[in-house]
Amino acid sequence: MEKSKKLKLFICYSHKDNSSDNPYVEQFKEHIAPLKDLIEEWYDREILPGDDYQNQIDNNLEEADIICLFISSHFFYSDSCKKEKKKALELREQKGIPIISIILSDCGWLDDEDISKTLVLPTDGEPVSSFQNRDEAWYDVYIGLKKVIEEEIKIKQLKITEEFENFL
């Protein structure tokens, strides 16, 4: 896939979940490296000094083809994460943007009406932090994400024929 045709992946997370103790975003980026020809991930650490950070976040969220929510108690406690989740749900409703919830640690995600009604990763909602081998957890996330990416690529490659366009 050409660089300009790469899918844009937006990562919504709490900064507390990307610390030196728990570098979840960095681990995620390492594990999805084989998908680099298909996607371009973005998260708020891409913002340059002096940039209007809220504008950058809003624009990148609006332009996303896939949105990943990194779910933890920190996520639910963060006003910024809650705002981004709300916008992500609006985008799913308006544009059909897939939202993938990745459960990082034990938390009350099953009590969140929006997240609990969707299929989450890793499989069966087992938190990444509970895996004895985190590589296994991230591989499970990788496989699930790859399926979503492949489906989105198929959708983007669909072409409307002139005959069908005239029909519309």
Find the CATH number of the domain harbouring 129. 3.40.50.10140
Query: How many domains would you assign to the chain?
Result: 1
Q: What pLDDT was estimated at residue 32?
A: 97
What is the chain's pLDDT, residue by residue, as a tens digit (168 residues)? 444 589 999 999 999 998 777 799 999 999 999 999 999 999 987 777 777 788 888 888 999 999 999 999 999 999 999 999 999 999 999 999 999 999 999 999 999 999 999 999 999 999 999 999 999 999 999 999 999 999 999 888 876 666 777 776
Give the angle 75-77-79 at the CA atoms, nearest 5°.
90
Q: What pLDDT was estimated at residue 21?
A: 74
Per the document, the length of the chain is 168
Domain range for 73 is 3-167
